[in-house]
Amino acid sequence: MRPGFPAPTPLLPMPTRALAAVNPHIFRYKWHFLGGVLFVILSTLLTIFPAQLVRYSFDLVNEGIDLYHLYAGTQSQAGVYQLFGRNVLFYGMVIIALALLRGIFLFFMRQTLIVMSRRVENDQKNQIYQHYQSLPLSFYRRHSTGDLMSRISEDVGRVRMYLGPGIMYFLQLVLLFVLVVPLMLLVNVKLTVLTLLPLPILSVSIFYVNNLIEKKSDDIQRALAAMTTFTQEAFSGIRVLKSFVRQEDSSEQFQVSTNEYKDKSLSLNFVNSLFFPLILFLVGISTIVTVWIGGQEVIRGTITTGSIAEFIIYVNLLTWPVTALGWTSSLVQRAEASQARINEFLDEKTDIVSRHNVEREITGDIVFDHVTFTYPDTGITALRDVSFRIQKGQTLAVIGNTGSGKSTIAALLCRLYDVTDGTIRVDGVDVRDYALTSLREQIGYVPQDVFLFSDSIRNNINFGLDQPDEARMSQAARDADVYDNIIRFPEGFDTKVGERGITLSGGQKQRVSMARALVKEPKILILDDSLSAVDTKTENAILDSLQRVMKNRTSLIISHRVSSVKLADEILVIDDGQIVQHGPHATLMAEADGLYRALYERQLQTEATVD
């Protein structure tokens, strides 16, 4: 879209190419849709028909009064009065009955079309969410969380506005025009042309004003989002905020952000305030024209006073759809932009796909064969020509400074990314040939940045299981050395963590996260710096129990601490993405000028000072 000006969209809300994507959804609810069309037709017919009755009754009243005066002083005057009263009453009743019936049809019109739009909205949200789940990590690095969320809520909501109110009012408008304008022309051509003249102006101005309103609403939304983010962050970081004595400063910043929100809201209110008077003014002009010109025609005797009444009703009937035309056009325009954004996401394909869908139980023989990896988005080469082998049941440790590429090895093994060069084989089969779920289900991965859901500890540990088992869970918690901590909480395993729950210490979180991987009884266990926040005593206890649990399984232990890796069968020392040393603890210690020895001595010193 061109900045500054609203895009030159046709005023008629025709479904465009991007919006064609929702047609299959409409088709799924075709009965709702067709029912909706039927009820729009019925209710519109019942809107128009009473206008004719009104004209008829008006003229009847006129004639009745004339007749009544004619019979003045005679016996039959009372009879005339009665007859005429009964007639008027009858028409009045019919008009009321029709209005009631129309109300019923309007009810069903909303029950079909608006219900359809809500269901499609729901389907679309689920479709998008499901699609999100299939997309690779690189996708999530390219898009912010807010962006992903607004696709699912805001954009889908705008498409719903097109499907529900947009289609509904557009149908109403077309029908009304097709039926009413000929009726008006039948009454009087000149009057019709003159009264309809202000309506296009109304429609076009509403289109522009509405675009302005929507733009301002968006600004308000953004200001609100900024305010929410700011507040949320301030509350999450309240400890930092207080300890650095920044309360005043924070309050001032908050004031700036609320002021912005206020200014934008006032600006929207200003436009809104002009909006309705403008509509009423233009509608008023039409009514005045009808009465004025119509009156002249009545004097000339070309039409009756009843026709004026009928005309005023018609003009009023047309006002709303004409207003809605401008409104629905801008609505469709926005829906189109939103659907285009949604389509852009739905068209995005994951590049992590299985080549052969191999599904088999793995034994855990891992080979990295000249693996080189460059992160696609940053262009950082994290691994260079890395080759090693872990035999089934063995433990390999990877040690190195931060940023040396350790976590990347874990990510590649889980296929969160695909290698740039070389191959990774598990049991002799390229990881790209495994069915993704089969491979990942057999790997227990404890990522470096621990994440626990705001849920019970039980659900956090059993996260990867379809059928949780109490005994397995307790055992996993024991192996991760967190069982005693958990049962000391007031509600044991049912204790909630995260927001509105208890706060776990860093080490406790790491161990719960580890229990989550252990409970899967994986064939391959990957610990990515998962013991960094526990003390050396707990670390040793965990490593001990891991040796028992992982006896027939393969483990990859990543750490920057020598204490975590020294028991491993083999140790890889990596530096700047390359393997610089390789061997068991004793061998590496013997290399006097190696990086391993240097790390060991450095850490021994810090530990000595800490203790």
Ligand X SMILES: Nc1ncnc2c1ncn2[C@@H]1O[C@H](COP(=O)(O)OP(=O)(O)O)[C@@H](O)[C@H]1O
Binding site residues, ligand X, CB under 6 A: 141, 375, 377-378, 380, 382, 400, 402-408
Q: How far is the CB of 140 from ligand X (least distance, A)?
A: 9
CA atoms within 13 A on the CB side of 142: 11
Q: Per CB under 5 A, does 448 bind Mg ion?
A: yes
Q: How far is the CB of 384 from ligand X (least distance, A)?
A: 11
Are 342 and 155 spatial neighbours (Cβ–Cβ below 8 Å)? Answer: yes
Q: How far is the CB of 557 from ligand X (least distance, A)?
A: 13
Q: How far is the CB of 557 from Mg ion (least distance, A)?
A: 13
**47 contact, one of ligand X, Mg ion, none, CB 5-8 Å limit per kind:** none
Q: Per CB under 5 A, does 407 bind Mg ion?
A: yes
Phi-psi region of 369 (alpha: psi -120 to 50; beta: other; left: phi over 0): beta
Residue closer to ligand X (CB basis): 46 or 411 = 411
Residue closer to Mg ion (CB basis): 354 or 448 = 448
Burial class (CB in 10 A: 0-12, 13-18, 19+), 78: exposed
The one segment of 139-147, 233-241, 321-329, 400-408 that binds Mg ion by CB under 5 A? 400-408
Q: How far is the CB of 344 from ligand X (least distance, A)?
A: 22
Q: Nearest to residue 188, comparing CAs of 310, 67, 71?
A: 310
DSSP 401-446: -TTSSHHHHHHHHTTSS--SEEEEEETTEEGGGB-HHHHHHTEEEE
Q: How far is the CB of 136 from ligand X (least distance, A)?
A: 11
DSSP 470-523: HHHHHHHHHHTT-HHHHHHSTTGGG-BBSTTSBPPPHHHHHHHHHHHHHTT--S
Residue closer to ligand X (CB basis): 517 or 558 = 558
Residue closer to ligand X (CB basis): 107 or 451 = 451
**408 contact, one of ligand X, Mg ion, none, CB 5-8 Å limit per kind:** ligand X
Alpha-carbon Rg for the chain, nearest whole angstrom, is 37
Q: Which two structure tokens, joined as six digits, stand for 526?
A: 């990957």
Site size with Mg ion, rule: CB under 5 A: 3
Q: Per CB under 5 A, does 532 bind Mg ion?
A: no
Residue closer to Mg ion (CB basis): 250 or 407 = 407
Residue closer to ligand X (CB basis): 267 or 372 = 372
- Give dist(CA 240, CA 447) in Å, integer: 26
Are 320 and 206 spatial neighbours (Cβ–Cβ below 8 Å)? Answer: no
Are 138 and 376 spatial neighbours (Cβ–Cβ below 8 Å)? Answer: yes
- Give dist(CA 315, CA 283) in Å, integer: 8
For the chain, the straight-line distance linking the first and the last C-alpha, in angstroms and rounded, comes to 64
583 membership: H or E segment, kind and range: strand 578-583
- Give dist(CA 573, CA 593) in Å, integer: 13
Q: Nearest to residue 311, comparing CAs of 328, 329, 290?
A: 290
Q: How far is the CB of 439 from ligand X (least distance, A)?
A: 20
The one segment of 317-325, 447-455, 471-479, 568-576 that binds Mg ion by CB under 5 A? 447-455
Residue closer to ligand X (CB basis): 277 or 403 = 403
Residues 511 to 530 in contact with Mg ion, rule: CB under 5 A:
none
Q: How far is the CB of 336 from Mg ion (least distance, A)?
A: 44
How far CA 128 is from CA of 123, 144, 341, 352, 420, in Å, comes to: 9, 16, 11, 18, 29
The one segment of 142-150, 301-309, 446-454, 570-578 that binds Mg ion by CB under 5 A? 446-454
Q: How far is the CB of 599 from ligand X (least distance, A)?
A: 13
**400 contact, one of ligand X, Mg ion, none, CB 5-8 Å limit per kind:** ligand X
- Give dist(CA 474, CA 487) in Å, integer: 10
Q: Nearest to residue 410, comparing CAs of 398, 420, 402, 393?
A: 398
Q: Nearest to residue 570, comparing CAs of 583, 557, 558?
A: 583
How far CA 53 is from CA of 82, 115, 294, in Å, comes to: 20, 33, 18
Nearest position to ligand X, beta carbon: 407
Residue closer to ligand X (CB basis): 195 or 555 = 555
**130 contact, one of ligand X, Mg ion, none, CB 5-8 Å limit per kind:** none
Residue closer to ligand X (CB basis): 337 or 572 = 572
Q: How far is the CB of 406 from ligand X (least distance, A)?
A: 3
Residue closer to ligand X (CB basis): 317 or 410 = 410
Residue closer to Mg ion (CB basis): 304 or 407 = 407
The dihedral sign for the CA sequence 600, 601, 604, 606: negative
- The type of residue at 198 is P
Are 165 and 325 spatial neighbours (Cβ–Cβ below 8 Å)? Answer: no
Q: How far is the CB of 545 from ligand X (least distance, A)?
A: 25
**511 contact, one of ligand X, Mg ion, none, CB 5-8 Å limit per kind:** none
Q: How far is the CB of 371 from ligand X (least distance, A)?
A: 13
Residue closer to Mg ion (CB basis): 287 or 532 = 532
Q: How far is the CB of 527 from ligand X (least distance, A)?
A: 12
Residue closer to Mg ion (CB basis): 248 or 449 = 449
**378 contact, one of Mg ion, ligand X, none, CB 5-8 Å limit per kind:** ligand X
How far CA 167 is from CA of 37, 141, 332, in Å, comes to: 9, 37, 9
The one segment of 156-164, 216-224, 402-410, 575-583 that binds Mg ion by CB under 5 A? 402-410
Residue closer to ligand X (CB basis): 395 or 407 = 407
Q: Which residues, 6+ apart, have CB-to-CB distance to 313 below 8 Å?
A: 50, 51, 54
Q: How far is the CB of 378 from ligand X (least distance, A)?
A: 4
CA atoms within 13 A on the CB side of 235: 6
- Give dist(CA 505, CA 509) in Å, integer: 6
- 290-319 mask for Mg ion (x: CB under 5 A)? ------------------------------
**444 contact, one of ligand X, Mg ion, none, CB 5-8 Å limit per kind:** none
List of residues contacting Mg ion (CB under 5 A): 406-407, 448
